[in-house]
Amino acid sequence: MSFGYPSFLWALTVLAIPIIIHLFNFRKTTRIFFSNTRFLKLVKEETTQKRKLKQYLVLASRLLFLLFLVLAFAQPFLPAREQLTGLRSIVIYVDNSFSMATPVGEKKRALDEGIRIAQSIADLFPADTRYQLLTNDFASYSNSFKTKAEITDLLSQIRLSPVSRSASEILSHVKESHATLFWLSDFQKSTFGKPVKIDSTLKIQLVPFELESYSNVFTDSVYLENPFAIGGEKNTLKVRLRSSGKKNVQGLTVKLSINGVQAAATSTNIDPNSFTEVPFDVASGLSGNNKAIISFTDYPVGFDNDFYFTLNYSSKLKIVEVRPDNQSTFVEKVFGNRELFSFKSFTTANLNYSLLATADLVIINGLDRVDAPLAAAIIGFKKNFGALLLVPGAQPDLSSYQKISPLPLTKAAAIEMTELDKPDFKNPFFKNVFEDKTSSIAMPHATRVMDWGIDGSALLKFKSNQPFLSQFGNIFLVSSPLEKKYTDFQSHALFVPVMYRVAASGKKHEQQLYYTLNSSTITLASDSLMDEEPAKLVGSQEIIPSQRKTDGRLVMDLPKHAVSAGFYHVIDKRDTLGLVAFDLDKEESILEQLTTEETKVALGGSPSISSFKASSPEEFRSEIREKYLGKQLWKYAVLLSLLFLLSEVLLIRFLK
């Protein structure tokens, strides 16, 4: 045991005063004469013994009262088990991710408890202690040490953040290795990251918050059933829901809203720790940029109950046709819808080669020979991931076609036009193309002029298994010219949807339905954006991120600390380039936690790592005092001194 003010121990000399009073009792005695003292002797002896016992008890009470009173002023304490570094440097990390909104203890948010504990740390340590405060935002104030007053003010400003940080990211922001780090977190397995090895000079104090074992439901992903849909065609939206808890979820109502209007609703059940898919029909007729939200009520974990995504139909597909002459073609009629397509047709003599690099689909239609400049331009175009449709002429020079074909080509034997075989209805290429999927469907007829061997996966083929239309990546091959002499495919009802699917598969600037806040970049199509005019994200706040323009695309670096979940318009001057949606990373919704021992192992198992087990700020204060400041005993000394003072009063009053 040690004393905070040992000089007060000199006051123990006052213990001599009660002893002196006891030894020298100066009260005068009165002599009384009796005729016979034979009967008084026994009474006198008994009275004297009782009086002496009472005096000794009173003396002891007075001595102990004074003793503990002096000790209380001397402030005794048990020495601390650990000591801070000589510089008294403390780093406090408060996990303010959305998972910390989960209730703990008496239905209080884990974040609120974390802030109270952080404030306790600042209150308990001496005034000359330096503090570094870290949160998931990695704000500018985290780059330097602060005083107690500054830390108190910063703690009052902490709010929930959509950003999650891994252990390696947190440790990389600790400014001083010879410091003590108080790590206040729920220690989620999904966001903790890979194991790291810490510097042995850094002391880490883990302060875990044990979350209630709630079953949390969240949206894992959203996708369109028909990835080739264009122009607001009828489609089906698939919503993949996930439950990360150990309880069955019954009768969960899931709603789809588009542009602020509820479009559909359904009810579903989810087994523990499993997935389920919920379909929603997306009506045709949508155009432009559309805001869509999947929502449900999952109490009490509600930070991930809304999922944002976009349904954008504002961009046009760029189609470039290369033909042998100026005569109108069937391809030109198919892509004549100016609301959906930006169609340009050229002859080989006046081809604008620069347009090939920005096109979504290039169609070589009816050429007998692909000259060297065109072949070189096509090869460069394929590197930019656009789609290429090769339709041969009546007398194709296969050696010239071979330069841009993915497979060896040969001349097909001349035969009469025969009917094509039924397509594979399960192929996603034909999704929503056929309303009546029967074997009696009428198919077009054709005869081949070029061949590339047996292709079992051909989109359309003859009954002899010879291919009519094949796909190899983003290259499509047709074995016949689109002329009546060789096929009636161009006059068949199947022609338009097939050509639409070919065009849609070449979307170079297909915008994602949504981005997570952990995404590093977002990409949009942009033709007219000037390099010196930066675009901006306008939503709950206005942000101008770093950006660059390449090959008709605008690539914006996503500032993680500034963007929140929701919708943002991409604005250039007064023009809207697109609409993007941001969602929380789904890893944040998986509430499973690391145990204290698992956390220590993940941090390398260093002996400089310890943990607190306090379940409330009050218990934490007591535990941290005992660990770093020692156990204060002056309160016990005060209580004991008062107890012995009361004992003295009771002895004098009631002991006769």
Mean pLDDT of the chain: 84
H-run or E-run covering 42: helix 40-74
Alpha carbon separation from 487 to 202, 478, 482 (Å, rounded): 77, 11, 6
Give the separation between CA 35 and CA 37, rounded to whole angstroms. 7
Give the separation between CA 397 and CA 305, rounded to whole angstroms. 60
Mean pLDDT of 487-500: 90
Asked if 284 contacts 232 with a C-beta cutoff of 8 angstroms, the reply is: yes
Q: Does residue 342 share a domain with residue 400?
A: yes
Return the pLDDT at 629: 60
Mean pLDDT of 293-321: 88
283 lies in some domain? yes
Give the separation between CA 181 and CA 194, rounded to whole angstroms. 19
Give yes or no for residue 529 having a pLDDT over 70.
no
In the chain, how many domains are there? 5
Q: Does residue 493 share a domain with residue 419?
A: yes
Give the separation between CA 504 and CA 413, rounded to whole angstroms. 32
Return the pLDDT at 86: 46
Give the separation between CA 600 and CA 598, rounded to whole angstroms. 5
Return the pLDDT at 385: 57
Return the pLDDT at 528: 56
Q: Say whether the peptide bond before residue 300 is cis (omega within 30 degrees of 0).
A: yes
Return the pLDDT at 515: 92
Give the separation between CA 220 and CA 307, rounded to whole angstroms. 9
DSSP state of 142: G
Q: Give 375-386 pLDDT, tens digit per residue.
A: 888 887 766 657
Among 161-170, 452-461, 579-588, 646-655, which stretch is predicted with the lowest mean pLDDT?
A: 646-655
**Could you give the 3-state DSSP secondary structure of residue 543?**
strand
Return the pLDDT at 473: 85
56 lies in some domain? yes
Give the separation between CA 93 and CA 182, rounded to whole angstroms. 6
Give the separation between CA 579 and CA 571, rounded to whole angstroms. 9
Domain span including residue 369: 317-504
Question: Looking at per-residue confidence, does 275 or 62 come out higher?
Answer: 275
301 lies in some domain? yes
Asked if 387 contacts 505 with a C-beta cutoff of 8 angstroms, the reply is: yes
Mean pLDDT of 385-403: 89
Return the pLDDT at 467: 92
Return the pLDDT at 175: 82
**Could you give the 3-state DSSP secondary structure of residue 494?**
coil
84 lies in some domain? no
Mean pLDDT of 353-375: 89
Assign 9 a pLDDT band (cuts: 50, 70, 90).
confident
Domain with residue 186: its CATH number is 3.40.50.410
Among 178-187, 315-324, 526-535, which stretch is predicted with the lowest mean pLDDT?
A: 526-535
Give the separation between CA 58 and CA 137, rounded to whole angstroms. 65
Q: Does residue 206 share a domain with residue 117?
A: yes
Residues in CB range of 340: below 8 A, 6 or more apart: 230, 231, 316, 317
Domain with residue 463: its CATH number is 3.40.50.880
Q: If you write DSSP's letter for every residue of 506-532 in order, what string do you get?
A: T-TTPPPS-EETT-SEEEEE-SS--TT
Give yes or no for residue 105 having a pLDDT over 90.
no
352 lies in some domain? yes
Q: Does residue 408 share a domain with residue 353?
A: yes
259 lies in some domain? yes
Starting at the edge strand found earlier in the chain, the sheet holding 521-525 runs: 521-525, 553-557, 547-550
